[in-house]
Amino acid sequence: MFVSIILLLICVVFIIIQLKSRRPKNFPPGPTVLPILGNLLELSLENPLNDFERLRKTYGNVYSIFLGPKPAVVINGMKTIKEALVTKGVDFAGRPQDLLVNDSTQRKGVILADYGPSWKEQRRFALMTLRNFGMGKDSMEERIHEEIKYTMDTLEKSIGQSISPRIMFHNAASNIICQVLFGIRYEYDDEVIKVIVQCFTENAKIANGPWAMLYDSFPMIRSLPLPFRKAFKNVETCQKLAISWMNEHKQTRVPGEPRDFVDCYLDRMDKAGDDQSSFSEAQLTMYILDLHFAGTDTTSNTLLTGFLYLMNYPHIQERCQQEIDEVLDGKDQASAEDRNSMPYMQAVIHEVQRVANTVPLSVFHCTTKDTELMGYSIPKGTLIIPNLSSVLNEEGQWKFPNEFNPENFLNDQGEFVKPEAFMPFSAGPRMCLGEGLARMELFLIMVTLLRKFKFLWPEDAGEPDFTPVYGVTLTPKPYRMKLQLRETN
Ligand code: HEM
């Protein structure tokens, strides 16, 4: 009996040793890896950002953790992230292919596509299409201004009252990208837009949440009816809508005279014929969803953060308004070019983006070949987590890393300067492809609203809570704002 127990114990220990995931030779260091669980117990599944910071303090700017049996390398700090994503851009430009987000989006689209010719072709197409987006009434700028009119109407109806701006900003950002993609906008109470915004915001939380972490770590639970299935349902719902938009465009388009992104894509498909091109209808429907998803939650959460801070730093709000009044004196509306004459407003918008830290862990990357970083060896196919938060408040990179202060972006002469560590859009070949559109939206929306209204923190709202809710995007906690028409108007 005694011998059997000893033998059994030896077997258990042997199995544990076999199951234990090990770091490959010269792999970045990290906490002790437990069998099966890896380092999951080290991380808060609700919000691991503080844990990532704690581990950085112990192991340095490049360390590894195991998500279940899967090793991942977390990269921190400006120098390290630039070295990986820019200097060794191609080595680090892959995307992992076996996560919940890949399965739920059927490996189509551009955000999660792995590095290779198809991703390159699709990305180049989007960058060019967004850049050449028509002139005059059809321009990106005018499409944004069209939408701002509706936001202004909503706000005008709320003068003197306190309102929750969350849905309004989400709908505005969603409508702008809808206008760019397929030339449609929806009323703010339209059921279609409510469904899309709901699906996207839910998926942004699921994708980085505890159930995604369990799905990614333990393949054997993937077919079980657990809460992560909601992510698949949400994608299906949106996909049906995207297919209907595409079909409608196929019927009404005039080839060679594109009205919007979808028409440009259909024109491109005509050109491609049936060769080995990556342009297809299935690809287009997921592309629509990708751009809509990437362009909605990010921009709207940045705007929400902006107004949260501006209400609670009224002297900064007033200084923006002074500059806006001076520069726009006699003009009907702001234009993107006015950015050059508004250094303070530029500094405020950049500072908002810095503290908003909207996509704190970027989108996960993956190594495309065996490579090295800061003297460590990282094999091909390793999951890479770029911790952008660690750069946006990195000591030594900012004059005031831990406070909301536009001086972070101003020099002694009051001119706008952009420190190298400003990377809310990430860096390198996978860097956000909507940066130009996002920056134009943030500027035109904030300037137009601040020109007309004064935003006040309601007297009965208590102390503001600046701590955001964690997800793929960080979201400010729900809040209300009070509005007054500005006297200058
Ligand atoms: C304030 C707003 C925004 C922020 C902070 C933001 C941030 C980011 C970040 C951090 C990434 C990951 C880059 C990487 O993997 O290294 C990304 C990727 C991406 N973003 Fe944005 N984004 C914003 C707005 C937009 C908009 C408006 C669009 C739509 C046109 C967009 C489209 C994309 C796409 C398609 C990708 C994937 C690029 C690729 O994998 O090649 N983003 N964005």
SS3 sequence, 256-291? CCCCCHHHHHHHHHHHHCCCCCCCCHHHHHHHHHHH
Q: Is 438 in the pocket of ligand 1 (CB under 6 A)?
A: yes
Ligand 1: residue whose CA is nearest its atom 41: 430
Question: Which residue ranges of the chain lie beneath pLDDT 70?
Answer: 1-21, 134-138, 273-275, 488-489
Contact (CB, 8 A) for 155 and 162:
no
Q: Please tell me the CATH superfamily of domain 28-485, with its number.
A: Cytochrome P450 (1.10.630.10)
Distance between CA atoms of residues 51 and 53, nearest Å:
5
Distance between CA atoms of residues 470 and 210, nearest Å:
11
Q: Is 120 in the pocket of ligand 1 (CB under 6 A)?
A: no
- DSSP secondary structure letter of residue 468: P
Given this model, what pLDDT does residue 380 score?
Answer: 97
Among residues 109, 434, 140, the alpha carbon closest in space to that of 242 is found at: 109
* 3 state SS of 153: helix
Element spanning 325, H or E: helix 314-328
The answer on whether 432 is annotated among ligand-binding residues is: yes
* Residue 48 C-beta-side C-alpha neighbours within 13 Å: 20
Give the bridge partners for 483, in sequence order.
Answer: 455
The first and second tokens of residue 455, run together, are 């935003």
Distance between CA atoms of residues 110 and 286, nearest Å:
8
Position in ligand 1 atom list of the atom nearest CA 292: 29
Q: Is 358 in the pocket of ligand 1 (CB under 6 A)?
A: yes
Distance between CA atoms of residues 387 and 445, nearest Å:
28
Q: Is 354 in the pocket of ligand 1 (CB under 6 A)?
A: no
Taken as a whole, the chain contains a residue count of 489
The contacts of residue 322 (CB under 8 Å, 6+ apart) are none
**What are the φ and ψ backbone dihedral angles of 254, each rounded to 5 degrees?**
-110, 110
Give the bridge partners for 263, in sequence order.
Answer: none
Q: Is 362 in the pocket of ligand 1 (CB under 6 A)?
A: yes
Distance between CA atoms of residues 291 and 283, nearest Å:
12
**What are the φ and ψ backbone dihedral angles of 410, each rounded to 5 degrees?**
-125, 140
Number of other CB atoms surrounding residue 129 within 10 Å: 18
How many whole angstroms from its chain centre is CA 478?
Answer: 19
Q: Is 434 in the pocket of ligand 1 (CB under 6 A)?
A: yes
The contacts of residue 85 (CB under 8 Å, 6+ apart) are 92, 93, 365, 386, 426, 427, 428, 429, 430, 431
For the chain, state the CA radius of gyration. 24
Best residue for ligand 1 mutational test, from 292, 293, 349, 432 (most atoms within 8 Å of Cβ): 432
Ligand 1: residue whose CA is nearest its atom 11: 432
Torsion sign across C-alpha atoms 208, 178, 450, 142: positive
CA 201 – ligand 1 centroid, Å: 16
Q: Give the CA angle between residues 7, 10, 15 to the nearest 5°.
A: 125
Element spanning 303, H or E: helix 281-312
Distance between CA atoms of residues 106 and 97, nearest Å:
10
Q: Is 304 in the pocket of ligand 1 (CB under 6 A)?
A: no
Q: Which amino acid is located at 84 in the chain? A: A
Contact (CB, 8 A) for 66 and 38:
yes
Can you give the pTM of this predicted structure?
0.92
Q: Is 123 in the pocket of ligand 1 (CB under 6 A)?
A: yes
CA 299 – ligand 1 centroid, Å: 10
Best residue for ligand 1 mutational test, from 86, 120, 425 (most atoms within 8 Å of Cβ): 425
How many whole angstroms from its chain centre is CA 153?
Answer: 28
Q: Is 359 in the pocket of ligand 1 (CB under 6 A)?
A: yes
Cα dihedral value 293, 230, 248, 275, nearest 10: 80
Q: How is the chain split into domains, by residue range?
A: 28-485
